[in-house]
Amino acid sequence: MTRRRQRRTLKPLPGGRVEYKGRSFINFCSNDYLGLAQDERIVQALKEAADEYGVGSGASQLITGYSEAHEQLEQQLADFTGYDRALFFSNGYMANLGVITALADRHTSLYLDRLAHASLIDATRLSRARYQRYAHNSVADLMARLADDQQQRRLVVSEGVFSMEGDRAPLIDIAQCCQQQKALFYLDDAHGFGVLGEQGRGSRSAQGLDTDAVPLQMATFGKALGVSGAFVAGSHELIETILQRSRTLTYSTAPPPALARATATALTIVIAEQWRRDKLEALVQYWRRVAHEQELPLLESDTAIQPLLIGADADALAVSESLMEHGLLVSAIRPPTVPEGEARLRITLTSAHEQADIDRLVQALAASL
């Protein structure tokens, strides 16, 4: 079974590395884009908050699981993003399920990008909405589908940065399309938040859009912020609707208050330390230049996600295993995560990497492909 997945027992090491079976590997698989997962300031914030609050919240947010730490984080997120309110979810998957099933039902038409994340697909199906998947990043296809739809309630969903492609959605055009067609636009910015835009505000900020253009946004904390969890931000009315209707929030134990406090610390660091984003951007540019020199099969991406299209499953696995022999950890991504015949190496760069790490990767790829 070539598509059987297996877990590896890894230990994180400094400098964008992990230990596996007693050996150190440069980790080119992590979504820890700003190298914060082991930051001592965040670790200390978690420890201190655990001393104050304990290690669990004890109940749903709507029972007794909502603390001052949760409230302060949500206010910090609302202030940072410019939305009226924010809600703290346990993870991005639960946030997407909670939002879409709260806002969409069988009386809703829902439009989803063809390459949307599995959580968005699952949420769409669970909502029972009538849905269509428009061609990837094709605003013309989206507009044509919306123009033919007379349904009064319509929801358009896109990612800001696509997790397996690394490319960015044309948010300006999607927002204009939604405004013209009177559809609600929901943005999943899991891979843009913290990395793109002013002070890391994300894809919406990077493309110069205000909150009116993108009325509802989700982002996760397990990537650029280096912790765990997710949030949804929007208007008072939208957030209150989600709070009242989201089953994944109502029927889940709230994330630990200590995690909320650590996340608040991580967000403060993300805002203050622009050098992390600057370094990551420089590494992406360097990688693309040297990879092009070696004629590696790059996809079009200017983000931290840099896929190499291989094609056949077996070939992608073989290259991944060859890279491990060189002390490099790069995952092979296969269907159903990506379309048939488009198996790839999903290379991710972080600010914990150095140019020498990229040189080593490029040399190993040139020898392995």
Angle 298-301-305 (CA atoms, 0-180°, nearest 5)? 90
Which residues pair with residue 309 across a beta bridge? Answer: 344
Residue 117 is among the residues annotated as catalytic for this protein? yes
Q: Residue 209: left if φ>0, alpha if ψ -120 to 50, beta else—which one? A: beta
Q: What is the number of other CB atoms lying within 10 angstroms of the CB of residue 10?
A: 15
Q: Pick the catalytic residue: 117, 165, 189, 357?
A: 117
Q: Known catalytic residue: 205?
A: no
Active site residue 159: yes
The rounded distance, in Å, linking the Cα atoms of 254 and 64 is 9
Q: For residue 329, what is the DSSP state?
A: E
Is 191 labelled as part of a ligand binding site?
Answer: yes
Q: Is 348 marked as a binding-site residue? A: no
Q: Which of 32, 113, 223, 252 is catalytic?
A: 223
Give the DSSP letter of residue 253.
Answer: B
Burial 137-168 (b: 16+ CB within 10 A, else e): bebebbbebbeeeeeeebbbbbbbbbbbbbbb
**321 given a catalytic annotation:** no
> Per the residue annotation, which of 27, 30, 31, 96 is the catalytic one?
31
Please confirm, yes or no, whether 96 is among the known catalytic residues: no
319 neighbors 367 (Cβ within 8 angstroms): no
- Residue of 109, 137, 163, 301 marked active site: 163
20 marked as binding residue: no
Q: Copy the structure tokens of residue 329.
A: 């950890």
Please give the structure tokens belonging to residue 181. Answer: 């067609």
Cβ atoms of 205 and 193 within 8 Å: the answer is no
Task: Find out whether 93 is annotated in a ligand binding site.
Answer: yes
Structure-block tokens of residue 286: 């360097």
Q: How far apart, in whole angstroms, are the C-alpha atoms of residue 245 and residue 103?
A: 8
292 annotated active-site: no
The partner residues of 219 in beta bridges, in order of sequence, read 231
What are the binding residues for substrate?
Answer: 5, 117, 337
What are the binding residues?
Answer: 5, 92-93, 117, 163, 191, 220, 337
What are the binding residues for pyridoxal 5'-phosphate?
Answer: 92-93, 163, 191, 220
What amino acid positions are annotated as catalytic residues? 31, 117, 159, 163, 188, 191, 223
